[in-house]
Structure 1
Amino acid sequence: MKWWLDFSSNAFIAAFFLYCASFISYAIAVGGKKWSNRKPAEHTARWGKIAFGLAAVGWLAHLTFFFTRWYGGGHIPTSNMYEFMTFLGMAIMFAFIVIYAIYRNMMLGAFTLPLVIIIIAYASVFPSEVQPLIPPLQSIWLKIHVTMAASGEAFFAIGFAAALVQLIRVVDFSRTDKAGRRAQFWTEFSLYVIIVLVGFIVAVFAFRGAGYEANFKQETVTIDDAGNALTSVGEVKYTLPPIVAPYNSETVSFQSFIGIKQPLFEAPSWMNGVNAGRKLNTVIWSVIAGSLLYGLLRLIARKKLTAAINPHLSDIDPDDLEEISYRAIAIGFPVFTLGALIFAMIWAEIAWSRFWGWDPKEVWALITWLFYSAYLHLRLSRGWQGTRSAWLAVIGFLVVMFTLVGVNLVIAGLHSYAGV
């Protein structure tokens, strides 16, 4: 079995680098045509074919990773954050291949590939060892519920990518009125949010590579069913320099960083989730690293990033992008409905003897479903098209990402095992 797992890891690495090569090829196809001696259309077609070929081969390598890990680990690899996020990346690539085969839009690849790369790089932050399934996950519904929910979210991701391209395409950077500046700000902010996620990945791998570690001893008080106070002491390990210490804790070991020899403050008492202080510390470092990365990119571009990208989108019809976004979401919505709601409730009844329990993950899955229901209703019945429709698609996927990342890692609940 170890051989299969080693082979699976190698296939995953191959998929990652093939996706990177595909993105570079798409960037050359879109942005490099003005430096080419060939005719722009010929240049774009040539590099577009190379980019799609690399993406397809990368997806096959990703598929190989999935099935060899399944065989070597003994269960479908969707049981924790590492496995789920790698599966989500694979599902997004499948959705991209389907949509690209229909519309042949080059810019879709240039924005989808970075999203996939970020997601599987984010997955690599978590432990990659195969873990035994806990009792609630030992069910055929793990295969049905999780894979269908992720597949629906994958098509939402394609809708998000197309909508973001559309917004950057239509924003008018020559406008100086209030409405024009607002459109420029929020479009730029959407890119900033993505860069903050990249900053999180960069910070984690940088400090992990440097071997950084700090440890705290935290005292936790819980109340049992009889109303008695129970005190327990546990150790909390940080792999990022502690700006925020755990609530009610003592420092066991601390490596100073840029002159900081102790945490700047302690996590507030109301943040009583598992490792809440460490998670808040991670969020702060993500914003710091993302802001520095964003500032560096702004310095290189010498203008807003959306303003730097906008001229390369002049040949694209925004109506085509809106159609792609709508079709992708329309495909993903019924798949998500089945996987994240209907099959999830059936599994909840089997595992916990109730269809619904207001668990945070259940609530946010319902919020996601209601949001996309509103999107489809407003677009089809109320005529919400153009930038309004695009903004809904962008905001909807941010809700999806909070449901996947924020709920699993920040809010304690029955689904918290997914963040292990």
Structure 2
Amino acid sequence: MNLIDFSSYAFIFAFFLYCFAFLFYVVAIAGKKWNNRNAADHERRWGRIAFATAGAGLGGHLLFFFTRWAGGGHIPTSNMYEFMTFLGMAIMVAFIIIYLLYRKPILGMFALPLVIIIVAYASVFPQEVQPLIPPLQSIWLKIHVTTAAAGEAFLAVGFAAGLIYLLRTIDYGSASKQARREQFWAEFALFMIVVACGFIITVFVFRGFGYEAVFTREQVPVADSGQQQSDTSQVKYAMPPIVKPYNSTEVAMEPFLGMKRPLFEAPSWMHGVGAARKLNTVIWSFISGGILYGLLRLLLRRKLGAAIHPLTKDIDPQDLDEISYRAIAIGFPIFTLGALIFAMIWANIAWSRFWGWDPKEVWALITWLYYSAYLHLRLSKGWHGKASAWLAVIGFVIIMFTLIGVNLVIAGLHSYAGV
């Protein structure tokens, strides 16, 4: 067995330990209501078991990281699979640091699912070790990517604490306009998490069945001479095509639930060979996520937020507010170093300029400006409590778009990360 194969087994080992740790945290928090006499001892005992399991998972994750590094010859952060696995590992490190400071088991109940989703999402991408393209062959790749991910990891923990704060403080027994609005947006945040889970499940289900559909797409670019030249490209789908590429012809398509052809064609303004496929993936994500959300609602017979709310009643909201702020206060300067300062140094080495208007650079700047505003509003304007928690949640949405949306949807110099 070579190191790359061994690292894959270590990765699977870590993933399952994370799943068990999450279940143990659920037992620690939810099980208290069945053990009223010794609720504190129950939470403490199971919290320790969960923390030890999460720590063992992190150990397996670190083993994956270093063995893949040794077997691949370069730090494993050069594509979406490697970067997302590193981000999941960094979130675990950030969670453990914050947990050791505040000792709140409920934080693990929200941070562990975030790690599990990110790790599972990473597994969607090709896992082969790929040779580094010239811009990535620099020591600044290690410095820039690792510090940026470390900063984002602490911001992710701040998001988890902020979301718990909202679920703790929103009045689910009130029918007032403000309460209904808060309930709606908190439920929407949970729904989007379920959609992410639905996307991952859908990818693995169709991959397991070996589904594939193929289209040929005609493009008519205008040459420099002014004459039109036709160009034919092939587009492969790993999910049943609800929407097919614009101006394309079916080559092969397996029927699915009676659907023998796509329902509609992508609009002409959707440029790029993979644009329609990405739209198709988004549609499937919302379909599967909607079904999963509906099943959870039927099982719980109430909103997800309303089901989680009782589990948070013993937590001091001020502690959650403090945890969210401290995590962001730690993550922001690290993100500033990694995503801006070190990134500009690397950009100058790779592309001979410190700053360009590449989409990834723009959204990294937007993220930095957003969290700068968060800290300003909190420290100077007194935005604590719900206002601060909502900002923490929205900020992480911006981070996810920067990591996923920009890499996979918007073409730019960082598009290699989506390969």
Note closer, same or farther for the CA distance 1:9–1:138 as it changes in structure 2 (3 Å cut). Answer: same
- 1:380 equivalent in structure 2: 379
- 2:395 equivalent in structure 1: 396
Give the distance between the partners of 1:303 and 1:143, measured in 2 at CA. 46
Point out the more displaced range, 171-180 or 399-408. Answer: 171-180
Alpha-carbon RMSD across the aligned residues, in angstroms, is 1.2
Q: CA deviation at 1:407?
A: 0.4
2:179 partner amino acid: G
What whole-Å deviation, never above 9, does each CA across 1:171-190 have from its counterpart, x for those lacking one?
A: 10111111111011001111
- 1:288 equivalent in structure 2: 287
| 1:139 matched to 2:138 | yes
For the Cα contact (< 8 Å) 1:200–1:289, is it kept in 2? yes
Give the distance between the partners of 2:224 and 2:302, measured in 1 at CA. 59
| 1:161 matched to 2:160 | yes
1:338 partner amino acid: L
- 2:76 equivalent in structure 1: 77
Where structure 2 has 5 or more consecutive residues not aligned to the other structure, the ranges are none
What whole-Å deviation, never above 9, does each CA across 1:265-292 have from its counterpart, x for those lacking one?
A: 1111211134000000000000000000
For the Cα contact (< 8 Å) 2:198–2:285, is it kept in 1? yes
Q: CA deviation at 1:158?
A: 0.1
For the Cα contact (< 8 Å) 2:152–2:335, is it kept in 1? yes
Give the distance between the partners of 2:373 and 2:168, measured in 1 at CA. 25
Q: CA deviation at 1:225?
A: 5.9
2:133 partner amino acid: I
Give the distance between the partners of 1:193 and 1:27, measured in 2 at CA. 21
- 1:272 equivalent in structure 2: 271
1:312 partner amino acid: L
Point out the more displaced range, 61-70 or 355-364. Answer: 355-364
Q: CA deviation at 1:221?
A: 3.3
Point out the more displaced range, 117-126 or 36-45. Answer: 36-45
For the Cα contact (< 8 Å) 2:235–2:273, is it kept in 1? no
Matches within 5 A, 1:196-275: 196-223=195-222, 229-275=228-274
Give the distance between the partners of 1:364 and 1:227, measured in 2 at CA. 36
1:185 partner amino acid: F
Identity of aligned residues (%): 70
1:12 partner amino acid: F
- 2:316 equivalent in structure 1: 317
Note closer, same or farther for the CA distance 1:334–1:236 as it changes in structure 2 (3 Å cut). Answer: same
For the Cα contact (< 8 Å) 1:273–1:411, is it kept in 2? no
Give the distance between the partners of 2:72 and 2:207, measured in 1 at CA. 26
| 1:300 matched to 2:299 | yes
Q: CA deviation at 1:204?
A: 0.5
| 1:355 matched to 2:354 | yes
Note closer, same or farther for the CA distance 1:249–1:48 as it changes in structure 2 (3 Å cut). Answer: same
- 1:47 equivalent in structure 2: 46
For the Cα contact (< 8 Å) 1:274–1:412, is it kept in 2? no
2:262 is paired with a residue of what secondary structure?
coil
For the Cα contact (< 8 Å) 2:233–2:273, is it kept in 1? no
Give the distance between the partners of 2:202 and 2:227, measured in 1 at CA. 41
Give the distance between the partners of 1:70 and 1:290, measured in 2 at CA. 35
Give the distance between the partners of 1:66 and 1:267, measured in 2 at CA. 40
2:52 is paired with a residue of what secondary structure?
helix
Matches within 5 A, 1:51-62: 51-62=50-61
Q: CA deviation at 1:376?
A: 0.3
For the Cα contact (< 8 Å) 2:158–2:324, is it kept in 1? yes
1:114 partner amino acid: P
1:150 is paired with a residue of what secondary structure?
helix
1:32 is paired with a residue of what secondary structure?
helix
- 1:67 equivalent in structure 2: 66
Q: CA deviation at 1:224?
A: 5.4
Note closer, same or farther for the CA distance 1:367–1:261 as it changes in structure 2 (3 Å cut). Answer: same
2:35 partner amino acid: S
For the Cα contact (< 8 Å) 1:273–1:410, is it kept in 2? no
Q: CA deviation at 1:229?
A: 4.4
Q: CA deviation at 1:226?
A: 6.2
For the Cα contact (< 8 Å) 2:348–2:354, is it kept in 1? yes
Q: CA deviation at 1:146?
A: 0.6
| 1:17 matched to 2:16 | yes
Note closer, same or farther for the CA distance 1:124–1:395 as it changes in structure 2 (3 Å cut). Answer: same
Give the distance between the partners of 1:413 and 1:117, measured in 2 at CA. 28
Normalised by the size of structure 1, how large is the TM-score? 0.98
Give the distance between the partners of 2:32 and 2:178, measured in 1 at CA. 33
1:233 partner amino acid: T
Q: CA deviation at 1:337?
A: 0.5
2:351 partner amino acid: W
2:217 is paired with a residue of what secondary structure?
strand
1:147 partner amino acid: T
Q: CA deviation at 1:227?
A: 5.7
- 1:148 equivalent in structure 2: 147
2:220 is paired with a residue of what secondary structure?
strand
Q: CA deviation at 1:219?
A: 1.9
Normalised by the size of structure 2, how large is the TM-score? 0.98
What whole-Å deviation, never above 9, does each CA across 1:205-257 have from its counterpart, x for those lacking one?
A: 11111111100011223345666644321111101000010122110001111
